[in-house]
Structure 1
Amino acid sequence: MADIEEKQRAVGTETEVENAVNYTPEQIQHRFETLRVSARLMPMMTLMFLMNYLDRINVSNARLAGLQEDLHMSDTVWNAGISTFYVGYLIGQLPGNLLLARSDPKYFLPGVMLAWSIGTICMPAMTNGVGFCMVRFFIGLTEAPFFPGITLITSSWYNKEENPTRMAIWHAGNTMSNILSGFLAAGILEHMGGIGGLHSWQWFFLLEGIASVVVAIAAFFVLPSWPSTTKFLTQQQRDMAQYRVLVSNGGVEEQVGGTWDGVREAVRDPYTWYFCGMHFALVTAQSFKDFFPSIMKTFGFDKMTTYLVQAPPYAIAYATACAVAWSSGRRQESFWHINIPIWASMLGTALLISVSNVGARYFGAILLISGTYNGLNLQLSWETTLVPAPRSKKAALIAIANCVSQTSHWFSPYFFPTSQEPYYRLGGSLILVGCALTTAVSVGIIWRSKKLNKKLDEAEGWTPDCGRERGWRYVN
């Protein structure tokens, strides 16, 4: 009931805010689009996310180049190293994102990027499995605040209609990292072995780490701060940026709020736990990502072709995700936009684990990647739309959901042992469970949203034929 009372107050606040400033929607949009924020924020976050995911998946291609054999690691030790990354990632999630909510993203996000880049540069010095686990733990710990952090800053700058598409845009970093990783692997891992007395996989980590440091330093000068504190905007422009998000939030101010107050509010909100379940399900459905090069290897291509054929499925996934995100934001609908692609992923998984035809399996890989990639993007947008403010609560929700989701990485690597080649049916079964759980949890979110919207309708006395415009409502 407290939630409904809060939204009743929000509806009134929204009306007051809209009456207070005499701008048409077209003027608001024009004024905002003339700002230089998007030109700074979107390309830089995309590039940073590219380096972030490149760092996360580079071990998969390095494994094909002999990393596991050179460090004398068994499959068990290798999987332990993969899981250890996510142990550090889990530990750093909540404190990192809460710290970001109270600090300046212009400095915080490049700072954590600089830290994980230094860890990547240290990877060529590894000599055994213990070193592999320790370095991956440190990198996971320093990467932890980044992904929820860019989700938080995006939802603070853009309204609920723009949010899905903007998140899809910087998700290009994920796509490009998977594409670029294959090309880098083809160039570095195939041709740089022995140069300077280093293995090719050592050059792979070293060059990538140096590039990441360069991007982190550039980000210090390019990223904006929060809408209320960005210095390269005028006061009027800052007010306009905040006003747009305020209206989108139903009139609820996006003030920071107390750090632990935000945690308590997030823990008490059922939406937090719904989205924990959904995020966990989607990450489980994406458990193939750490093993995608190994899956591609089972198609029977030579090593060079195996590196290169990883690119098209991710490029198709990105184009699909942008189109679906645009439609979702325009229609203000999330359930079907998430679940129809997820069901396509289930079909793709079935093809991968049940047929021997290479063309059919490759088509299955495209469906699998496109559906799960789209689902994760829209889930992030949905959770920040349903719980838009205050910032400390939203930061806690994002971090808690992302934190819970990463526990999937503690066990999912063990579903993809080399003994499961060529079909990886055990891993495929895990992917199918993740997809099915995504649908089940999203049904729960829809049920709660419709229930709360009905109470808001009753509180306002609104009916479809009442002749009045409907106020703020939870997005279905």
Structure 2
Amino acid sequence: MSATNDVPEKAEAKASFDEVHQADEQDEMLQRYDLLKDLTGDQRKAINKSLVRKLDWRFLPCITMMLLMNYLDRINVSNARLAGMQKDLHMTDTQWSAGISMFYVGYIISQLPANVMLAKGNPRILLPCFMLGWSVVTLAMVLCTSSVGFILCRFFVGVMEGPFVPAVSLMTSSWYTKSESPMRMSIWHAGNIISNVISGLLAAGILTRMKNVAGLTSWQWFILIEGIVSVVVGVVSFWFIPKWPHNTGEYMFTAEESQMAQYRQLVNAGGVTEDDEGGAWDGTIMACKDPFTWLFTCLHFFVIIAQSFKDFFPSIMDTFGFDETGTYLLQAPPYIFAYMACLAVSWTSSRFRDHCWHIAGVMIVSLVGTVILIATLEQGPRYFSLFLLCAGPFIALNLHLSWETAVVQRPRVKRAALIAITNASSSVTHWFTPYFFLTNQAPRYQTGGGVIMVGCGVTVLSCLALRWWVARKNKQLEERQRETGEYNSWRFVN
């Protein structure tokens, strides 16, 4: 939370407060929790530390692994294309792009109803079931013999994968505070980035060595192994996913830790609980009426346009002239750099309580990388440009998710609807961006590069618009405070 210079010194101290175990001034909120109210600050600090440790070592690694498999599926299809999947299924470029697009049709239509349902339901059951669903359909792709089968499988994989990222964003914002979320989101967002590294390494090991083993093509083995691992992760995850802070129970947290989880979020949201909400669709209506929803939708939409190279990254690498193994292996370093940069920038975002300038900065860097990529055919500069290109959109997406969940805290159903609306709307880009990276435009892919540059530029403008709206809303809060004399610690974050 942030405060401006117009707020009195005492109020500023409250507004900047985030260490809930030291919240001696939050007695009114603390009185709601009988297991915490009579404890000392040090005792609450110990409970808070234990709670965060359990989240960091159980929940966070589990969702990181689940998301890694989620994103790995999308990248693996691109590598399978290089290994002959498109040729073996007798598909044209247009049919292949249609399959990629149909994934996002299913992905989009499932997000809003599933995330609203999950906000009122049991994520401990629903998240693993989503994962098992897409894993089974992925395994079915091994049996595809035509473009029709490929397109249908990609559609149903999209239906099952669609709710996952919005659901994990929602859960992260329900368990971690505003200052904790950016770094934690960057950690589980590793599933998005590191999947690109792992996919390249797996491609080098499987696609080049398992051709015609047991009568299967190398791309069939590639998808089969991925699907089996995904099933295993989905089954194991039933033991590591909590419900919500108010109803998880003692299978994962003690009674004191459960109350601390609720208290942390109460302080984090300025005294409004996640239970202060109406029916499932009331939150959707609230989200649709909130200008923040559409500002964040615009931001997310153009970040994903700037990230449109991701599904075609193996094809871009193929234009560098390396041998097959080198093409797969050299996909990894740009994504490793992107992940390290994501951790660093997320830390500074938390430290300085800023999202706007961090997102704008990394997107300008990505724009520069795109210009280099399409302006020269020199191998060295082009490979360097991939490091810049990869870093920007992945970092921006991570900070965007943190920003929207920090700004729109309560009720949970409204937050769930906002996350799903922004994510689903941005996924519409996948219906048309695949057509900008056709093989006849290699090696420059200048149309695709131009689209990425537009995405970077409009993302920066969207950040500035959001910063202006946040300042306007905070000014309204301060004016209301001066008129009524009632202090409210809530401030929208930039």
Please, which of 16, 20, 27 is the counterpart of residue 28 of structure 2?
16
2:193 maps to amino acid = T
Aligned to 1:334: 355
Q: Compute the displacement of 1:38 (Å).
A: 2.2
Structure 2 residue 235 is the aligned partner of structure 1 residue 223: no
Aligned to 2:272: 252
Aligned to 2:108: 90
- Contact 1:40–1:224 at 8 Å: present in 2 too? no
- Contact 1:18–1:247 at 8 Å: present in 2 too? no
Structure 2 residue 154 is the aligned partner of structure 1 residue 170: no
Q: Compute the displacement of 1:426 (Å).
A: 0.3
Instruction: Describe the shift of the 1:209–1:22 C-alpha distance in structure 2 as closer, same or farther (beyond 3 A).
Output: same
* Mapped partners of 1:101, 1:263: distance in 2: 11
**Paired residues for 1:368-379 under 5 Å:** 368-379=389-400
Listed one character per residue, the Cα deviations across residues 420-454 of structure 1 (whole Å, up to 9, x for unaligned) are 10011100001011111111111111111101111
Secondary structure (helix, strand or coil) at the match of 2:208 reads helix
Please, which of 314, 325, 343 is the counterpart of residue 364 of structure 2?
343
Please, which of 426, 441, 455 is the counterpart of residue 405 of structure 1?
426
Give % identity: 51
Please, which of 124, 137, 154 is the counterpart of residue 136 of structure 1?
154
Structure 2 residue 52 is the aligned partner of structure 1 residue 32: no
Q: Compute the displacement of 1:230 (Å).
A: 1.6
2:262 maps to amino acid = Q
* Mapped partners of 1:289, 1:29: distance in 2: 42
Secondary structure (helix, strand or coil) at the match of 2:490 reads coil
* Mapped partners of 1:187, 1:135: distance in 2: 25
Structure 2 residue 220 is the aligned partner of structure 1 residue 208: no
* Mapped partners of 1:369, 1:324: distance in 2: 14
Aligned to 1:235: 255
Secondary structure (helix, strand or coil) at the match of 2:452 reads helix
Structure 2 residue 291 is the aligned partner of structure 1 residue 279: no
Q: Compute the displacement of 1:284 (Å).
A: 0.6
Please, which of 49, 53, 63 is the counterpart of residue 45 of structure 1?
63
* Mapped partners of 2:278, 2:124: distance in 1: 20
* Mapped partners of 1:154, 1:289: distance in 2: 25
Structure 1 residue runs without a partner (length 5+): 1-9
Secondary structure (helix, strand or coil) at the match of 1:110 reads helix
Listed one character per residue, the Cα deviations across residues 62-96 of structure 1 (whole Å, up to 9, x for unaligned) are 00100000001000000000000000101111111
Secondary structure (helix, strand or coil) at the match of 1:407 reads helix
Structure 2 residue 321 is the aligned partner of structure 1 residue 300: yes
* Mapped partners of 1:113, 1:253: distance in 2: 30
- Contact 1:97–1:399 at 8 Å: present in 2 too? yes
Secondary structure (helix, strand or coil) at the match of 1:217 reads helix
* Mapped partners of 1:327, 1:422: distance in 2: 36
Q: Compute the displacement of 1:406 (Å).
A: 0.4
Q: Compute the displacement of 1:472 (Å).
A: 1.9
**Paired residues for 1:378-397 under 5 Å:** 378-397=399-418
Secondary structure (helix, strand or coil) at the match of 1:250 reads coil
Aligned to 1:121: 139
**Paired residues for 1:59-208 under 5 Å:** 59-208=77-226
1:398 maps to amino acid = I
- Contact 1:28–1:244 at 8 Å: present in 2 too? no
Instruction: Describe the shift of the 1:450–1:171 C-alpha distance in structure 2 as closer, same or farther (beyond 3 A).
Output: same
Structure 2 residue runs without a partner (length 5+): 1-13, 16-24
Aligned to 1:443: 464
- Contact 1:314–1:369 at 8 Å: present in 2 too? yes
Aligned to 1:434: 455
- Contact 2:179–2:350 at 8 Å: present in 1 too? yes
Instruction: Describe the shift of the 1:29–1:445 C-alpha distance in structure 2 as closer, same or farther (beyond 3 A).
Output: farther
* Mapped partners of 2:237, 2:190: distance in 1: 17
* Mapped partners of 2:30, 2:473: distance in 1: 23
* Mapped partners of 1:222, 1:19: distance in 2: 30
State the TM-score, normalized to the length of structure 1: 0.94
Listed one character per residue, the Cα deviations across residues 217-259 of structure 1 (whole Å, up to 9, x for unaligned) are 0001121221112222222211101111111111121125311
Instruction: Describe the shift of the 1:22–1:163 C-alpha distance in structure 2 as closer, same or farther (beyond 3 A).
Output: farther
Aligned to 1:365: 386
- Contact 2:30–2:263 at 8 Å: present in 1 too? no
RMSD, aligned α-carbons:
2.1
- Contact 1:93–1:144 at 8 Å: present in 2 too? yes
Structure 2 residue 430 is the aligned partner of structure 1 residue 418: no
* Mapped partners of 1:23, 1:150: distance in 2: 32
